[in-house]
Structure 1
Amino acid sequence: MITPRDTAASRRTRANGDGTVYQRKDRRWEAAGYVLAPGNTRKRIRVYGNSRTEALAKLTEKIAASNRGVPVVTAQGSLAAYLAYWLESVAVHHLRETTHTRYTACVDRYLIPGLGRKKLTKLTAKDVRTWLNQLRTTCQCCTRGIDARRDQPCCCAIGQCCSKLLSPLTLTYVHSVLKSALEHAVREEEIPRNVARNVRTGTPRPRRFEPLTADEARQFLTTVRGHRLHALFELALHTGLRKGELLGLHWEDLDLGSGTASIRRSLQRTRTGGLTVLPTKTRASERRIALPTECVHSLRGHQERQEGERNTAGVAWRESGLVFTTPTGGPLDPANMTRRFAAFLSRAGLRRIRFHDLRHSTATLLLEQGIDLVVIKELLGHAHIGVTAGVYAHVRLRLQRQAIDTLGSVLNLSSDGPDNPPATAAVR
């Protein structure tokens, strides 16, 4: 009698180093071979499939990665080793460079010191919950030794803890990075389940922002009028473009004749390349928007000014094709733009806000003018309308109050009296 294990396929000869493939008693197929592991060592791994082809394909993929010098982390390794592998070989190909930099800082700063010594297979939901609770209640100056490196210690180094705790938003972000890493370990069949998903950190309150009112926006534009970057600030307030999108705008992206702009890229400072032009934040962020007449006039004047700066700089001019540049044609640093924006706010006598709050100011003013939420979503480049509706829920509540007050005045046929008080309670 010929069993499945005696078939010609299972006895097929494989070259040395290609590993072995055979069928198990439970009818599944198992493939085993040696691959490169962390620490420049070699380990024998086993993969499984419902068919010989599936098991062989999994093993071939891991051996090919090993031949390229990429260590294959097995489940026997520590969480620190797997996180290093995930950042260097997986996340780097799927994340923007700025996001990958934040993930790396999060792993080095919180995940490895807290959970790095745990074995990947032995990590439990209780371990994750205990670590998150400790992270939530521990002063970061004390934990990371920040105060000891300060020129003027103000916390642990002088025996007086400042209780600098992580914000709920940061805690949620750290937790999400761990979930992403473990989710990939599940997909690679290194672990059976993602234990970090069984731990809840709670929904943090959204970050509060204080957009400019219409009067404050006019006051700000009056202050920056005459400056060489007046067109940038005017464009930011009229269209709600992100700072990186403004700084990454090229002249070829503008059609001043038809009054439109194509948002295709963003200027960011990265750890490896410095100031780099990257794709937009999301696919929805790549969009075409209409330009107000005021912005078209300002951009034409800015183009003439830039031409004069090019003639003045001569051979020192750096041709980049960017709309907003330094006086010598180089790209503008986002950090310098932030400092310049703060100086203009101070000069205008306005309160301190972030540059990103100009974007919030645009959306808030448009909502207050009765512009449809779908139009604002397309202008801002949000991926989903739920993002727009969630961020500006406070504005929608205020508009609801105005609407029901208007309806109340229509339905209230008699004059206001003690029995018919107007609906004027503020919604916060």
Structure 2
Amino acid sequence: MTTPRPTSSRRTRTRTRTRANGDGTVYQRKDNRWEAAGYVLAPGNTRKRIRVYGTTRKDALAKLTEKIAASNLGLPVAATDSTVSTYLTYWLNGIAVHQVRENTHTRYAACVRLHLVPGLEAKQVARLTARDVRTFLDRLRVACQCCAQGRDTDRRSCCAIGQCCNKRLSPLTVTYIHSVLKSALEHAVREDELPRNVARNVKTPAPRPRRFKPFTASEARQFLHAAGNDRLNALYELALRTGLRKGELLGLHWEDLDLDSGTASIHRSLQRTPTGGLTILHTKTRASERRIALPTECVNSLKTHREQQEEARRIAGTGWSDNGLAFTTLTGGPLEPANLTRSFSRLLKSAGLRRIRFHDLRHSTATLLLEQGVDLVVIKELLGHAHIGVTAGVYAHVRLRLQRQAINTLGAALGRADNDPDNPPATAVVR
């Protein structure tokens, strides 16, 4: 009688194996979480074994599969055992570049190059602590940037002549640098490369809000009167009466304007980018995409402006650039934002008005509306703020002034004599 050949434990393991070489391993930990591990491409064209976690086997396996797929496409994963400099370079060029606008990415890159890399370059990402981040930010607040960035090495200035200029960063800039570091480390946390974001454990003092000086009602009237004969009168009317941003004004197309119904659709913006030059982009946020009502004065000035543009088109002939923009140069090209700023400054000077930023026209719109008792929700929708908290925070000082006026009005009413004929007794219940 032939005895059945026993199956070895090795053969049993081979038969039950369900993942091929290179696919990694998946197993359940003692804390009931699932862990998946495998080798992927790392910066420097090296291979690195990574571990990801999930609440279920499927979740952990999906995370590992995603990383291996990206590795097979030649995309390295973040190596948290590398230095901050290496990781930030990876984050800038591999992650942030696909998530933010080009101008924002340029600011991120400048922040990394000028501040984060020089201050944290020698630190390993995995060993970075909240104390390291706090110490770095404290040094950043007191350091002279002229000396720190070597601006005085090629000329006789600042420390080169023994007299430090103490050119320090503003609290707003320090907060921005901190936010960039938090964003970079947050990506590592989402990718299970770091257990926590140590930069979030560091609290920085809230920067003092940037003060702006909007027009008063009399100054606004004086400005509109001075702009009446300007070629861009319709643009200035829109800026002050609707609060549109500069890029939104310059990105307006005639097809966005319905002058019959008196409405405008805001869904694009003209911006200058380092690589594309003057480019039409989406609005700042999704909340910025909105449809607004146009005042009668704006409708009339836009109709006049369209007639003037048609005359300019006739004069330019074949030299006219037909791009559908509402506000253009004399040959139909898009207006340069910097040139609009210079034209605005000249207009203020000729009108005898104090110098303000172009963006302060937007602040003037909101301030004047608040002072007229317009509801904050309406102003939020008109300005295209993402959250009403933004509107309330920016114009908190205006609301405080209005509250004081209301309290004073109530105080005057309560101070009247009982026999005052202008103060009859209340006969209705206020609900």
TM-score (norm: length of structure 2)? 0.89
> Partners of 2:154 and 2:304 in 1: how far apart?
49
Select the residue among 318, 330, 334 that pairs with 2:333: 330
1:419 alignment partner in structure 2: none
> Partners of 1:128 and 1:28 in 2: how far apart?
31
> Partners of 1:244 and 1:9 in 2: how far apart?
64
1:80 alignment partner in structure 2: 85
Greater Cα offset, 53-62 or 373-382: 53-62
2:188 alignment partner in structure 1: 185
SS at match of 2:122: coil
Select the residue among 66, 71, 76 that pairs with 1:66: 71
> Partners of 1:9 and 1:397 in 2: how far apart?
75
What amino acid is the match of 1:11? Answer: R
> Between Structure 1 and Structure 2, how many residues are aligned?
410
> Partners of 1:122 and 1:240 in 2: how far apart?
47
2:262 pairs with 1:259: yes
1:276 alignment partner in structure 2: 279
> Partners of 1:252 and 1:405 in 2: how far apart?
48
Larger Rg: 2
2:303 alignment partner in structure 1: 300
Select the residue among 382, 385, 400 that pairs with 2:385: 382
Deviations 1:273-322 (CA, angstroms, capped at 9, x unpaired): 11111111111111111111111011001111111111111222111111
Select the residue among 21, 25, 32 that pairs with 1:21: 25
SS at match of 1:288: strand
> Partners of 1:267 and 1:251 in 2: how far apart?
14
> Partners of 1:171 and 1:378 in 2: how far apart?
31
SS at match of 1:147: coil
Contact 1:232 1:246 in 2 (8 A): yes
Select the residue among 36, 46, 49 that pairs with 1:41: 46
Gaps of 5+ in 1: 416-428
2:417 pairs with 1:411: no
Contact 2:40 2:47 in 1 (8 A): yes
Contact 1:19 1:33 in 2 (8 A): yes
SS at match of 1:74: coil
What amino acid is the match of 1:64? Answer: A
TM-score (norm: length of structure 1)? 0.90
Deviations 1:84-139 (CA, angstroms, capped at 9, x unpaired): 12122222222222222211211111111111221111101111011101000001
1:102 alignment partner in structure 2: 107
1:148 alignment partner in structure 2: 153
Select the residue among 396, 402, 405 that pairs with 1:402: 405
Q: After TM superposition, give the deviation of residue 35 of structure 1 in Å.
A: 2.3
Contact 1:10 1:21 in 2 (8 A): no
Deviations 1:376-406 (CA, angstroms, capped at 9, x unpaired): 1111111111211111111112212221222
Given the superposition, is the C-alpha separation of residues 296 and 28 from structure 1 closer, same or farther in structure 2, using an over 3 Å criterion?
Answer: closer
2:131 pairs with 1:126: yes
Given the superposition, is the C-alpha separation of residues 376 and 63 from structure 1 closer, same or farther in structure 2, using an over 3 Å criterion?
Answer: same
Deviations 1:149-178 (CA, angstroms, capped at 9, x unpaired): 56xx54223221111111111111110111
Deviations 1:161-207 (CA, angstroms, capped at 9, x unpaired): 11111111111111011111111111111111111111111111111
Gaps of 5+ in 2: 1-7, 419-431
Q: After TM superposition, give the deviation of residue 408 of structure 1 in Å.
A: 2.1
Contact 1:21 1:52 in 2 (8 A): no
> Partners of 1:9 and 1:247 in 2: how far apart?
67
2:18 alignment partner in structure 1: 12
2:143 alignment partner in structure 1: 138
Q: Percent identity?
A: 69
Deviations 1:310-363 (CA, angstroms, capped at 9, x unpaired): 111122211111111111111111111112111111112222211110000111
